[in-house]
Structure 1
């Protein structure tokens, strides 16, 4: 089974996630936007072995610490989808724009596509391409534990912004309704910011993508 811990990082209180297989203790860090010492402390406290970094998308608060953390841990970077390249190439400019410490651009060791899978120990995460907030955004879903890491696609009571370059509101809403809702109302999700929720609660109450919209 997949266990996890949410690690708030950066001034934007971004939900970096530490996922690990309870059987093997192999782990992945998802969206290390910053605050590397805090992430390292969480890894040590969980007593797990991180063997990869996963990215949902290329915004600075999700990807800013990726290159440095990958070097420190000696692990590959996996994701997002290749349409996110222009955001990763612009990380240095993003750091200046949003007042982050200087960071370096990088290219993932592996780009992801719809239908790919990523292993965390014995758990196999499904990759779902969910554009709209950004063009190459992906969601990671574990069918066994009924857990999804959704980045900035969906929040408790809200959805991701679409006013960034190459964002599109209709595309984002379509991705949520056509790709996430079919996974099941019982799925718990970790958003990029704020508290967790379930797809069922959001279908019933979310004013942007709920069934009553």
Structure 2
């Protein structure tokens, strides 16, 4: 029994949408369904899983653009991010214009998330951490059994999230990384919002933005 996942890059921004599922119950969630709705439907059908919820790390268009249509298609709730990202979700029409992407209407998720919440997917659990900095209401999802974290745009392989958007803050982002991601453990694999996967230990040792003096064991 374990958590499985498949990464499906979506939108012109090649955002890493993740379909995750419990291999015992085949119940699934889609993390950050940014767009390409038909492709995601085909992937879900091919995997033979039952989507029960959509999980959102933050309110940027390339992460949430497909959320409301998929919520209606699968008849499932939209969960997350933390409420401080409400202004981003309400500003989705403006984001659509700004990036030249298909019009996405503003929406309110079924449920906001808070630091310390737990989300259940079948028999698997995801721990929620509030990780502001890239956006004020950003959250990450961590599964301890699989030692995998879905971190949105907080941390990347060799990089960190941008902080030049409204209500972004660089010191806050660095603090989120060091106080919420580092304690997960060096061996933890993370799925970033864009680009290749990495591990916490690799980034602590090599990431030019947040590397520290940690010895590698």
TM-score range, shorter chain: over 0.9
**Superposition pairs of residues 89-128 of structure 1, within 5 angstroms:** 89-128=90-129
**For 1:145-198, what per-residue CA distance to the aligned partner results, in whole angstroms no more than 9, with x for missing partners?**
100000000000000000000000000001001111011001000000000000
**Superposition pairs of residues 73-92 of structure 1, within 5 angstroms:** 73-92=74-93
Q: d(CA) in 2 for partners of 1:66 and 1:162? A: 24
Correspondence for 2:24: 23
Correspondence for 2:178: 177
**For 1:31-69, what per-residue CA distance to the aligned partner results, in whole angstroms no more than 9, with x for missing partners?**
011000111111011110000000000000000111111
Q: d(CA) in 1 for partners of 2:206 and 2:47? A: 34
4+ residue stretches of structure 1 with deviation over 4 A? none
In the superposition, the TM-score normalised over structure 2's length comes to 0.97
- Contiguous gaps of at least 5 residues in structure 2: none
Q: d(CA) in 2 for partners of 1:50 and 1:15? A: 18
**Superposition pairs of residues 55-204 of structure 1, within 5 angstroms:** 55-204=56-205
In the superposition, the TM-score normalised over structure 1's length comes to 0.99
**For 1:71-100, what per-residue CA distance to the aligned partner results, in whole angstroms no more than 9, with x for missing partners?**
011000000000010000000110011011
Aligned-residue Cα RMSD (Å) equals: 0.9
**For 1:111-143, what per-residue CA distance to the aligned partner results, in whole angstroms no more than 9, with x for missing partners?**
000000000110110000000000000000001
Q: 1:212: Cα distance to partner?
A: 4.5
Q: d(CA) in 2 for partners of 1:176 and 1:57? A: 16
Correspondence for 2:206: 205
| Residue-pair matches, total | 213
Secondary structure of 1:110's counterpart equals coil
- Contiguous gaps of at least 5 residues in structure 1: none
